[in-house]
A = this chain, B = another copy of it.
Amino acid sequence: MITPKRPSGFNEFLPAEQMAFNAMIAVIRLVYEQHGYSPIETPAIELTSILLAKEGGETAKQVYRFTKGDNDLALRFDLTVPLARYVAEHYHELTIPFRRYQIQEVWRAEKAQAGRYRQFYQCDIDTLGTNDLLADADILITAHETFLALGLKDAVFSISHRGLLSGLLAEKKLNKFTTSILRSVDKLSKQPEKNFSEELSRLGINKKAIEEILNFVKIKGTAQEVLKKLQTINLNNKEFIKAFNDLKKLNQYLLAVGLRAKDFMFDLKITRGLDYYTGLVFETFLTKNPEIGSICSGGRYDNLLSHYSKANIPGVGISIGLSRLFNALKPRMVQGPATPAQILIIPLASEVINYSLDINKILNKANLNAFVYPGTEKMSKQLAYANKLKIPVVIIVGEDEVKKQRVTIKNMTSGQQTTIGLAKAVAQIKKMI
């Protein structure tokens, strides 16, 4: 006998949890579709040359990579790189701007730790083929609507724009360090400022400049506050000005659709770890559960597709890390049923099974979820089964019921039991559930 177990770091749900998880996916899918994003799915396996074209370092180490025949293959670690490949590959078959959503698993061999799994769901929306800021605004608006639909009123966006820091560094003639500095900034919220200063110092940047950069990236507040502060900095750099105007416009759009000023803030510390971002970047935190970390992140990546296509295809997108979010929210949730069945039909003898199947069919036709218990065990055992699965209604079928074409309905919540004609059963049950 082989001990039944999963590889370590892999999670799976019991049915009640799976139903709650599926309900969340259904909500996300609904909102994404309401906002007119088209669904796609991509294969779990990509060519490694595609997947690691841009990302090295940590990402490459975490990838599940293997060969089959002559092929160097890997499991996707996010949905953005496969999307870039998809759009480049199918460019002439797609309608541009291409607005898509994708809800699928990704794999990362991260160090196993609480709430972190090696397979998890991402729920992404992206718009490719336009650099219009409305595309950026729309993904944030859609994400906001998604959080509300999930009951997460405390979700707050932390937004920045890579062009701000990039512009500042260009002015200071430090632009050759931009990628390194952005990475150091990304780590600022996880480690002491000292480390940041040391990292920049090692690049040969002087103390005064480090101080200035540090003060700059510590700018944080409501959109209005930050825009005002940036205005006083008044940097005459093209990239900076473009980023400033983008944020200003974004603020307008978000307020126009009804986001409150406290639903988003501007925070120049936000840069996102991945190298492919070029403009707007953001993360999302729950005020009531900051310990979860960002539940939804993304930004603009205007050069990512240049690795796979000669066409100029800018892009912007977000990703909700659903598995982590779900696990973090579990304490907030009430445990639901472990089955979609609303009715269990209990046959008391093998002679009544045909009649039981008949009832089942009538219930299904009325859009009620039901099934006949597979077996004719003692009634008490079958009732216990319904109880354990939290099935709200039970129909008990004995020979008397068959003879008189009636059904005995038991309300599992109240315990009340009533015997009525088959024709009236559906209406009666609908009242109970």
A97-139, CB < 8 A from B: 97, 99-100, 105, 107, 109, 118-119, 127, 130, 132, 134-135, 137-138
A214 CB, nearest partner CB in chain B, Å: 36
Determine the residue in chain B with the shortest Cβ distance to A135: B374
A56: Cβ under 8 A from any B Cβ:
no
A69-B109, A138-B374 are known contacts. Are A339 and B43 too (CB-CB below 8 A)? no
For A10, give its contact among B14, B43, B374 (CB under 8 Å). B43
Interface digits, A63-84 against B, CB 8 Å rule (1 contact, 0 not)? 0111011010101000000001
A340 to B34, CA, bound (A): 7
How many copies of this kind of chain does the complex include? 2
Residues of B within 8 A of A340 (CB): 33-34, 36-39
Q: Judge whether B22 and A39 touch: CB under 8 Å.
A: yes
- Whole-angstrom distance between the alpha carbons of A13 and B102 in the complex? 12
Q: Which of A33, A119, A357 has the most CB of B within 10 A?
A: A357
Identify which of A174-182, A363-371, A396-404 touches chain B.
A363-371
Size category, A interface = 35 or more
Write the nearest CB–CB distance from A246 to chain B, whole angstroms: 13
Between-chain CB contacts (< 8 Å), 17 pairs: A2-B53, A4-B86, A4-B309, A7-B45, A12-B42, A14-B94, A18-B39, A22-B39, A37-B340, A38-B338, A44-B75, A45-B107, A97-B374, A134-B372, A134-B374, A138-B374, A257-B357
A-B pairs, top 3 by smallest CB distance, nearest first, are A36-B341, A66-B66, A36-B371
